[in-house]
Structure 1
Amino acid sequence: MRITQKTVALLILFIFIFVVGTIIATRTVAYLEAGMAGAQLKGFLVEVIAYIIALTGWLFLFIYSYLKGDFKDIEGPKYDILELEEKIIKAEKEGGKY
């Protein structure tokens, strides 16, 4: 696996988005903490933490897929399926199914 400038730029972009999102969530919590009771705040914090954990998981999955090369040839699988279908039809014709 080769790390290119595009890969580094993409990682920096996602890290920047994640940091900005975290700052926004932190400020929102601070804002809501001033006007919320303890039980309401705890429920809200659970939601925010769950969101951040889910976002982190999706971010890592996307980065892993990108680095693995899953997004390099997005048109190839449909042509593979069409070629496979032609082979199946040909085999069925030879076998006397048609």
Structure 2
Amino acid sequence: MTLTRAWLNSENWDQSRAFLRENQDELACQETVALLRETEDKIAHQHAAILELLDSLDLDEVFDAVTDVTVASDQGYRFLEAGAWIKLAPCHEQSRS
């Protein structure tokens, strides 16, 4: 939990990317996703979506989408074209919060 909280407290997306890169083995697991989804905190849900997207994209692709709407749109279209619309679920859930 302490590691997760430290990641959530990153001051910006660049720091968040660097922190996750250093701690990906510990953070990128279903337990962390579940913990983040249990809260009502929008920031926690954003981070859960990041972890879920790591199943389909590498870390840099995920954070490029987080920080650039054009990249996010392009990746979304790639998922749709590949018939992998389910991969968009974390993003859709986040946009509804």
Higher RCO (CA 8 Å, separation ≥ 6 residues): 1
Higher helix share: 1
- Higher Cα radius of gyration: 1
Q: Pick the TM interval, shorter chain.
A: under 0.3
Using structure 1 for the length normalisation, give the TM-score. Answer: 0.26
